Amino acid sequence: MFGVTVSGNPILLSKIGGKIYAMNAVCSHMNGYLPKGELRDHSVICPVHKAEFDIPTGKVVKNVPWLMKSATHKEASDLRTYEVETVAGEVRLKI
């Protein structure tokens, strides 16, 4: 799991079960940088407030704790994912 920038977009690339996935690299709650988070099975946990996202779909698996939602008046929302293809060992994204 690592971060790249493509056309000005911060992207999280992850390899799970031999397949490469791409999604927004910035948490929708308070802009935590997900490549610095924890990879768990097929999800990533934000290093800032612990929102958890499913890497293949970008869906929120576990939102930030109730107290954090109350303090920030915001919760995490689903992240955009990107189509990935590998051509001659090169990873390409459809942005």
d(CA 49, CA 27): 9
Tokens of 8: 């000005």
pLDDT band at residue 94 under the 50/70/90 scheme: confident
Structural domain boundaries, residue 42: 2-94
Structural domains in the chain (count): 1
pLDDT tens digits for 19-32?
A: 999 999 999 999 99
| Whether the predicted pLDDT of 95 surpasses 90 | no
d(CA 46, CA 38): 7
d(CA 90, CA 70): 44
pTM given for the model: 0.93
Rounded mean pLDDT, 39-67: 96
| Whether the predicted pLDDT of 78 surpasses 90 | yes
Name residue, tokens 């999800």. 43
Residue 28 near residue 79, CB atoms below 8 Å: yes
pLDDT value, residue 4: 96
* CATH value at residue 40: 2.102.10.10
